[in-house]
A and B are shown apart, each in its own frame.
Chain A
């Protein structure tokens, strides 16, 4: 099992450009998440999905969009990149049903700089 795979690992964007951060998991998890991690800070939830076709906003969703057309994939889209979106982005997945939840598994992140 590869677990959670994120691509690319590094990217530099110019202000106003757009890009998609890819995330795929092979554990058949129903829940998927996107976080951002700024220096010296904890992870902040951007968007999450409880299953294919279902997404919702987290704590810091402005400037981002997501989609979940399959169980495995959960891409994060940045439109009109801004310097404030310079961060490390982590995708995670977990399995849950009702009151039974398994821990979240994280990918190794995408380091994004916007200049």
Chain B
């Protein structure tokens, strides 16, 4: 089955810096890759997703890149702000019918003012 590895487990940056979180997946048939942000005491919230027919997707300060050959995808946050502090999860699935997501183990991002 699918296995998703996520690095780093913790990431500390100064406000205004960029942050990059990386994930690798094992199943070459996976073609849907969402990223979720989880704040303390809350459920995960989707922040961006990408499908395998594109290599990059941007939404304001957030971008995701996908390298299907190497089977890895990354989340990029530019101009970080203290409110970006949270736990971020990557996931992978086959986007055919039911979406059975396999999650990474999460990255705790701390943005210091």
Contact = CB atoms under 8 A, between A and B. Distances in A.
Contacts, number: 63
**Which of A45, A90, A99, A103 neighbours the largest number of chain B CB atoms within 10 Å of its CB?**
A103
Contacts of A66: none
Main secondary structure of the interface of A (DSSP, over half): strand
A90 B44 contact: yes
B96 interface: yes
Given A40-B106, A42-B89, A42-B104, A101 B95 contact: yes
A109 B43 contact: yes
B97 A96 contact: yes
Tell me the interface secondary structure of chain B in the complex: loop
Contacts of B89: 42-43
Given A40-B105, A43-B89, A43-B103, A101 B32 contact: yes
A98 B46 CA distance: 21
B105 A42 contact: yes
Contacts of A104: 34, 46, 99, 101
- The 3 A-B pairs at the shortest CB distance, nearest first, are namely A42-B103, A106-B43, A103-B46
Given A42-B91, A99-B95, 4 more contacts: A42-B106, A43-B89, A98-B97, A99-B97
Interface of B: 4, 6, 9, 32, 34, 36, 41-46, 49, 89, 91, 95-106
26 contacts: A4-B43, A31-B99, A41-B105, A41-B106, A42-B4, A42-B6, A42-B102, A42-B103, A42-B104, A42-B105, A43-B44, A43-B89, A45-B100, A58-B100, A94-B99, A99-B95, A99-B97, A101-B95, A103-B34, A103-B46, A103-B49, A104-B46, A104-B101, A106-B36, A106-B45, A108-B42
